[in-house]
Amino acid sequence: MIIKSISPEHIDEIVKIENDSFSKPWPEQILINYIKKPGFFCNVAISGENEDVAGYSISTLIYDQIHVFKIAVSRCQRKKGIATELLSDTFNFYEKMGALSVILEVGTTNAPAISLYKKLGFEIIRTRKNYYGRNEGDAFVMGLALDCYYQKLLSAT
């Protein structure tokens, strides 16, 4: 499995993963707009001989804070460390540009994603009520200080 920057040939597979992963997926054109937007970092995990897209993430840097907007992994490739690799690649990319922290929103009932973020060292900062629409679910705002993330990595090696 390798992590690389998104290119146009990955879009179709990303759209399939997006539609299969979210109850309110972003339409293809919105995904394309984000991927092309200057200042946005988008990476993909590529696996197998056919170079299939196994997962992707989309993020940006605002001042010294990374904002992760999207991360998803193909259903059949989950629990193999792919999301962890995509986020690690994202943090390393922005750390060189002076990023100090990471922030994201996650559904309060999205146990796999919350567990992923907690494993990386994220903490819940607050809850945003009705983040996904009225009566459609709340979100946790989760944050991570990058120095804690790298310290944790060092102590695990």
Ligand X SMILES: CC(C)(COP(=O)(O)OP(=O)(O)OC[C@H]1O[C@@H](n2cnc3c(N)ncnc32)[C@H](O)[C@@H]1OP(=O)(O)O)[C@@H](O)C(=O)NCCC(=O)NCCS
119-138 CB burial, b ≥16 within 10 A, e <16: ebbbeeeeeeeebeeeeebe
**Nearer to ligand X by C-beta: 33 or 84?**
84
C-alpha 88/C-alpha 70 separation (Å) is 14
Asked if 115 is part of the footprint of ligand X (rule: CB under 6 A), the reply reads yes
Please list every residue from 83 through 112 that binds ligand X, using CB under 6 A.
Answer: 83-84, 106, 110-112
Question: Which structure tokens are listed for 85?
Answer: 């690799």
**Nearer to ligand X by C-beta: 51 or 105?**
105
Phi-psi domain of 51 (left: phi exceeds 0; alpha: psi -120 through 50; beta: other): left
Asked if 71 is part of the footprint of ligand X (rule: CB under 6 A), the reply reads yes
Q: Which one of the spans 36-44, 58-66, 81-89, 128-136 is the region binding ligand X (CB under 6 A)?
A: 81-89
φ, ψ dihedrals at 154, nearest 5°: -60, -45
**Nearer to ligand X by C-beta: 3 or 106?**
106
Asked if 66 is part of the footprint of ligand X (rule: CB under 6 A), the reply reads no
**Nearer to ligand X by C-beta: 101 or 110?**
110
Asked if 128 is part of the footprint of ligand X (rule: CB under 6 A), the reply reads no
